[in-house]
Structure 1
Amino acid sequence: MARIVSVFGATGNQGNAVVHALLKDGTFTPRAITRNPDSEAALKLKAQGVEVVKGDGLDKESLVGALRGSEAVFGVTTPTDVWPLKAVGDSPNEQEWGINMVNAAKEVDAKFFIWSSLPSVKKLSGGKYANVIHYEQKAAVEEYLKSSGLTNASIHTGAFLENYWKHGLLKKTDAGFDVAVPHFSTTDRQAFTWVEQTVPTTVIALLKNYTDPSKKISGKTYPIVNDNMSYAELAALTGKVLGVEVTFTTVPALGIPPVDEMLKSHAEYSGLFTATAIPNPDLVDLGVKFGTIQEFLETEVKPRFGTPAR
């Protein structure tokens, strides 16, 4: 019998990487959960033999139907409306989405739930940064999951290295490239996660080990960080790999409270995850291999931004 892992956000960054990793590994059978099974991304998954099922995070009953028969669930929500936010109240309700996922998973008797979460910046900062609503909502779901009775684990990601191209972080200049980030100085450090490498590797390790009580997985939160460095250092390393000048620039605030406070908190607290060694020893013990920044730059950045050979 197939060991089905239902994957939310299967057409997005994290979920899509998890689906493809599950297909490659072969131990589990991925089921892609999406609000629009007829989207271009969903149709690509279908063409690869992935079961694609419609499920709306704001409709718990649709999730119950979508999750039936699942051994495990990978849950992630994306604040798709965060970047154009003008006020905190404009944020999509990720908390409701996540709680519906947890309740649906419990109703269909899923055995394990992995939640892609983030820490409460409000709690970490003692209330100084209270407007990072997309972090607070994910953190609230994490606490709900831990009290749900489901065997569970949560992962925390740093700044996505893939933002180099997915959000245009690495911008072309006359001399080479520039990395422009608000609120960070040349010495402020950031936690970086190579999402498409490290998230699926972590998810598979957790899936393969959650039934072993000696691993003590349930209820744990696992920060997954490939490196912790300044944006200036990242820019310099990028320049060495690309063979051109790559500079770092501090740019003005965005004027979007949830995003500005997110960046300020990361800058002030060195990427938020300094309490956990890099690479995370708990995940290394489960067999997770973390790619390096150098590997990311060579395999992902150089093919996209390098000068073609003549």
Structure 2
Amino acid sequence: MTITQDSSAPLIVVVGITGNQGGSVVNALAESSKPYRIRGLTRDVNKPAAQEFAAKGVEVVAVSLTSDNATGAREAFNGADITFVVTNYWEHLDVNREVAEVKMLIDQAKTVGVKLFIWSGLESIIKVSKGKYPNVHHFNGKGEITEYGRHSGIPFVNVQSGWYASNFAKLDGMKPKKQADGSFVLALPVGPQTLLPVLDTPHDYGLFVQEAIESPEFGAGSEVLTSGEDITVGDMVSQLAEITGKKITFARIGDEEFLAATGLPRSVALEVLESLKYHEEWGYYAGKTTDASRRHLARPTRTWADFVKSTNWSSILA
């Protein structure tokens, strides 16, 4: 562990340390050969994850980063050399709130003189698709924030989050479904050739933030595209079947069938549907390759097969 309280070490403020991405960032920096002071922000310092980080030397601070709490954000960022900011749109499903909150954070980080603002953004699907897919708010809002950050005057880097490997294990609409003959079918509204930058987020996302901080190739003005492995949906299903020893096949289904299968409110299901259709048509990163972003990582990332092997599928494939 290289987390330190030495005032000569850079101070990195990490938003959402108890989440998948924030926690991954802290873990990656703790494994670095370079020393860092880390201040982790969370709404609840009593969460077990927050307590564990505190025991490892992280300064854990309770703060609610709503758009009306600029004073709290400014105090939380005070003295920081670097900030890492991530949002959880799915917690409230309010894209206007998300955009307002992060714009406020960018402004306050600039006010206190942060030297590098690292943002977990995504592509603006409505812009890339020229309006064809307007309802993917969790992408579009982050795209708007990215544009704001790039023009704000603060040193800004966008470390985009890849496709969560856990989606096939946690989202009802994407889990393999058992058939009458005991086999399983993983059904999506896209073809098996759809390519995804699959990422075991808690395990590997932080590596890319570390890279953005430590590699001269990245830093202010750059974009990092995270991916443990770029792999087609068809190959993911084949590997899942091979590793688990279950008969699992892929099927393309209609849009309405998928919307019903998600079990989500229609507006939320529509977001998921349109995001998948966009990934098939334009590519998750709008055709940009992830090769350069994997060039200077501190250690290898997990592949999809690695993730499958490390995950308990017994309840899903019962």
User: TM-score when scaled to structure 2?
Assistant: 0.81
Alpha-carbon distance between aligned partners in 1 of 2:276 and 2:152, rounded to the nearest angstrom: 31
Q: Which amino acid aligns with 1:64?
A: R
| Corresponding pairs, count | 291
Change (3 A) 1:287 1:39: closer
Change (3 A) 1:74 1:27: same
Q: Which amino acid aligns with 2:70?
A: K
Does 2:102 match 1:102? Answer: no
Does 2:29 match 1:22? Answer: yes
Q: Which residue of 1 aligns with 2:4?
A: none
**Once structures 1 and 2 are overlaid, which stretch shifts more, 245-254 or 282-291?**
282-291
Matches within 5 A, 1:204-215: 204-209=210-215, 212=216, 215=217
Change (3 A) 1:286 1:195: closer
**Once structures 1 and 2 are overlaid, which stretch shifts more, 248-257 or 56-65?**
248-257
Does 2:81 match 1:71? Answer: yes
Q: Which residue of 1 aligns with 2:126?
A: 122
Q: Which residue of 1 aligns with 2:158?
A: 154
Change (3 A) 1:282 1:186: closer
Q: Which amino acid aligns with 1:221?
A: E
Does 2:13 match 1:6? Answer: yes
Q: Which residue of 2 aligns with 1:237?
A: 239
> Cα offset for 1:63?
0.9
Q: Deviations over 1:98-156 (max 9, x none)?
A: 11221121122111111100011011001111122221211111111112222221022
Q: Deviations over 1:224-247 (max 9, x none)?
A: 223333322201111112222223
Q: 1:131 aligns with which of 135, 145, 155?
A: 135
**Once structures 1 and 2 are overlaid, which stretch shifts more, 124-133 or 186-195?**
186-195
CA contact (8 A) 1:191 1:273 kept: no
Unaligned runs of 5+ in 1: none
Q: Which residue of 2 aligns with 1:203?
A: 209
Does 2:200 match 1:194? Answer: yes
Q: What CA RMSD, in Å, does the superposition of the two structures yield over aligned residues?
A: 2.6
Change (3 A) 1:136 1:262: same
Q: Which amino acid aligns with 1:185?
A: G
Alpha-carbon distance between aligned partners in 1 of 2:191 and 2:177, rounded to the nearest angstrom: 21
Q: 1:80 aligns with which of 90, 93, 102?
A: 90
**Once structures 1 and 2 are overlaid, which stretch shifts more, 18-27 or 150-159?**
18-27
Unaligned runs of 5+ in 2: 1-6
